[in-house]
Amino acid sequence: MPSHPIARAVISLSHTPLAAPSANASGRPSPTRAQHVLTDLGGKIPLILDGGACDVGVESTVVDGLSSPGVIKVLRPGGLTVEELQRVLGPGTKVLVHKRDYEDPEIEHVPTTPGMKYRHYSPTTPVVLLLRTTPPEGKKAESIHDILDELHDELSPQQEDFRVGVLAFSNSPITLACITTHYHTHRYSLGNRNEPSEAAHRLFDGLLTLDAEGVDIILVEGVEEDREGLAVMNRLRKAAGEVRYIWG
């Protein structure tokens, strides 16, 4: 049941139950503003009602409470956080997150809920997720400069004006490193690192804004996987074509 007064008015005026998908082409980032819908679906739908920017920014939390007694499985983390679920349900119920706490090959083979496909939420522009954590075995940490040089040589070796989109936190060293390169940089802030709700609110608008600006690659800074940050990283791991590890 939506909380927005315009959505509630549409339901009321229709005099019938309504069920609807998100207003985007399959696999694309979810829209958080009317302009996103117009860009993606313009000419395919007759009307767009503009109720302003989405408050949360990421889609709903999807849970399965029927599979095991005393267990709630989070199939897709979203605006309602795992911490909030656990607080309400109490210590007698386990809250397990798909891919973090358990695996389910059957549901991964035939997804039962939106957002569970391996690739999802992807803009037209390639996305690279940057993590400042210890690399797993077989991976190495690199500098931003080396990563950008490699991406340039891989994607556009003959292109002098290589444009880089940077989706990172305010005052992030990633942004600073990118603007000190000789590449043209477009920046979009994820907000305050200590407020993952800001990253959730800005994520899709950032991806779609940078995509519309015609950059050649989008670098996204990873976030801590707690509170709304868990939902952000769920989306980014599906949107990114590759994950790279950086120093610092």
Looking at residue 93, its pLDDT comes to 95
CA-to-CA distance for 185 and 191, rounded, in angstroms?
A: 18
Looking at residue 119, its pLDDT comes to 59
Q: Which residues are annotated as part of the binding site for ATP? A: 22, 30, 76, 121
Contact partners, residue 146, CB within 8 Å, separation at least 6: none
CA-to-CA distance for 81 and 83, rounded, in angstroms?
A: 5
Number of domains forming the structure of the chain: 3
72-123 confidence digits (pLDDT tens): 999 999 999 999 999 999 999 999 999 899 988 777 667 667 656 555 678 8
Contact partners, residue 229, CB within 8 Å, separation at least 6: 196, 199, 200, 223
pTM of the model: 0.88
What the block records as the tokens of 148 is 């950008």
Span of 103-107, 119-123, 154-158, 207-211 with lowest mean pLDDT: 119-123
Q: Which residues are annotated as part of the binding site? A: 20, 22, 30, 60, 76, 121
Domain membership flag for residue 28:
yes
Percent of the chain with pLDDT over 90: 70
CA-to-CA distance for 227 and 83, rounded, in angstroms?
A: 6
CATH code for the domain in which residue 200 is found: 3.40.50.11030
Domain membership flag for residue 118:
no
Instruction: Indicate the SS3 state at residue 130.
Output: strand
Q: What is the CA 86 to chain-centroid distance, rounded? A: 23
Q: Which residues are annotated as part of the binding site for L-threonine? A: 20, 60
**Residue 76's closest CA among 22, 10, 11?**
22
Domain membership flag for residue 11:
yes
Q: For residues 161 and 204, which has the higher predicted lDDT (pLDDT)?
A: 204
The answer to whether residues 143 and 203 belong to one domain is: yes
How much is the mean pLDDT over the chain?
90
Q: What is the dihedral of CA 107, 112, 113, 117, to 10 degrees?
A: 50
> Residue 139 belongs to what domain range?
127-246
The answer to whether residues 1 and 84 belong to one domain is: no
